[in-house]
Amino acid sequence: MATRPILRFPHPLLRTAAAAVDQFDDALAALAQDLLETMRAAPGIGITAPHIGILQRLMVIEIDAASGVRIYVNPEVTSRSTDITRHVEGSVSMPGVTEEVERQRHVSIRFQTLDGAVREEEAEGLLAICLQHEIDQLDGIFWTQRLSRLKRERITRRFEKLHT
């Protein structure tokens, strides 16, 4: 297992939709482990395969040790609440900058496990926010696209200043 390099904003793969996983094998499990180690090293609480340049629908979330590691293959949101919440978000691909984003308070998702079993899950609070954030990434929607144009331009300038 290894820590992998993370693509940096504005890499074009961060705005490219990932393909569905169709091989549930040891290579997928190894990739999930690499994602976990890469996310922890970043540090972050969520990461997708596209963050490391692999366009597959695989993501790992670890909000805290008590919640444990969650691995999602081919996740999709099946329903969203109408209630909105605001939360400060960022990305392992855009370190050092954050901004408040609006998301649905509650979501239901369908996904597969590393062995291909289909599961459903409901989430609210921080887990719901993380799920929406990472599924957006798998769909080729970078988190800054959820901001107003003014906020997006401001955060991009801030990031460029930090990393030049």
**1 lies in a domain?**
no
**17 lies in a domain?**
yes
Q: Is 134 a catalytic residue?
A: yes
* CATH number, position 27: 3.90.45.10
Q: Which residues constitute the domain of residue 18?
A: 12-162
**21 lies in a domain?**
yes
DSSP helix, strand, coil percent of the chain (3-state; round to 5): 35, 30, 40
Q: What is the dihedral of CA 43, 48, 50, 51, to 10 degrees?
A: -10
- The catalytic position among 76, 134, 153, 160 is 134
pLDDT at 1 (0 to 100) = 73
pLDDT at 43 (0 to 100) = 96
For 117, the token pair is: 């079993």
**6 lies in a domain?**
no
What's the alpha-carbon Rg for the chain, to the nearest Å? 15
Contact 46, 133 (CB under 8 A): yes
**3 lies in a domain?**
no
Q: Which residue type, as a one-letter code, is found at position 141?
A: I
Contact 31, 154 (CB under 8 A): no
Closest CA to 39 of 66, 13, 71: 71
Contact 91, 39 (CB under 8 A): no
Who's near 62: CB < 8 A, 6+ residues apart?
A: 36, 39, 40, 45, 46, 68, 69, 70
pLDDT in tens, the chain (164 residues): 799 999 999 999 999 999 999 999 999 999 999 999 999 999 999 999 999 999 999 999 999 999 999 999 999 999 999 999 999 999 999 999 999 999 999 999 999 999 999 999 999 999 999 999 999 999 999 999 999 999 999 999 999 999 87
Q: Give the count of domains, the chain.
A: 1
The rounded distance, in Å, linking the Cα atoms of 113 and 29 is 10
**5 lies in a domain?**
no
The rounded distance, in Å, linking the Cα atoms of 71 and 68 is 10
The rounded distance, in Å, linking the Cα atoms of 159 and 111 is 33
**4 lies in a domain?**
no
pLDDT at 69 (0 to 100) = 98
Contact 75, 57 (CB under 8 A): yes
**7 lies in a domain?**
no
